[in-house]
Homo-oligomer: A and B are copies of this chain.
Amino acid sequence: MSDLEPGAAPAIDLREAMRTARSLRRFRPDPVSDEVLARCLEAATWAPSGSNAQSWKFLVLRSPEVRAVLGPAFREGWDWVRTIYGQSAEPPPADDTSRQARLTRTMLHLVDNFENVPVYVLFCYRLTGFVPEFIEGGSIFPAMQNFLLAARAEGLGTVPSTWFTFAEDKLRSIIGIPDDWRIAALVAAGWPVGRHGPVRRRPLHTVTALDTWDNPFLTP
């Protein structure tokens, strides 16, 4: 398709989009069109970056070769996290309807089906070397966030993951990522089975302060 076809991005209030852009992990098999992805990626380009350098590249991934690598990587990532949190490899009992059990079942579904995700988007970044690596993230993760919010507006489900790290060498080789570029994040996307809804976060007064570390900015 050609660049910047205007298309018809759905309207949504900014705060409503941010407040309900929770990760969704179950996708219908329907494909995600280039038009929708282009609108979300265009939003990614609107993010700020240090000196407006835009030292980024966004890859849309759908090939069987990439899928064959990402599936096992994601399962390895899951096993690793599961072990850290001391979680069983078995699915929760059918009669457990707790929030945690439902989240685990949804995650297991994604783990079992990761190579069948409709589309992945890889956020790549070339380090400038001007600031420590952690701080360079300020020039790529805002673009990922814009993408996630734009996807929310489209009704598209997304979930970012760091588990590409379990297959990073293979992935770099298949895609042909130059040595001086880093992978920042992998986002899985598709038309969701579930619905977007309010995110769950700690209260604001517990994560804010005024002037000094322990001086409250807000009262409970």
Contacts and interface: CB of A to CB of B under 8 A. Distances in A.
Given A11-B13, A150-B18, A209 B43 contact: no
A134 B131 contact: no
A93 interface: no
Contact of A208 (B41, B54, B162, B217): B41
Contact of A133 (B14, B66, B133, B150): B133
Interface of A is mostly: mixed
B9 A15 contact: yes
A89 interface: no
Interface residues of A, number: 92
Contacts of A133: 132-134
Nearest to A158: B48
A100 interface: no
Interface in A124-174: 127, 130-138, 140-142, 144-146, 148-150, 152-153, 160, 162, 165, 174
Contacts of A97: none
A34 interface: yes
Given A34-B218, A135-B137, 14 more contacts: A3-B220, A12-B13, A21-B46, A34-B217, A51-B81, A52-B200, A54-B202, A61-B210, A66-B211, A136-B137, A137-B184, A141-B141, A149-B149, A176-B212
Q: Which of A142, A148, A184 has the most CB of B within 10 A?
A: A142
A12 B127 CA distance: 33
Nearest to A134: B133
A219 B4 CA distance: 9
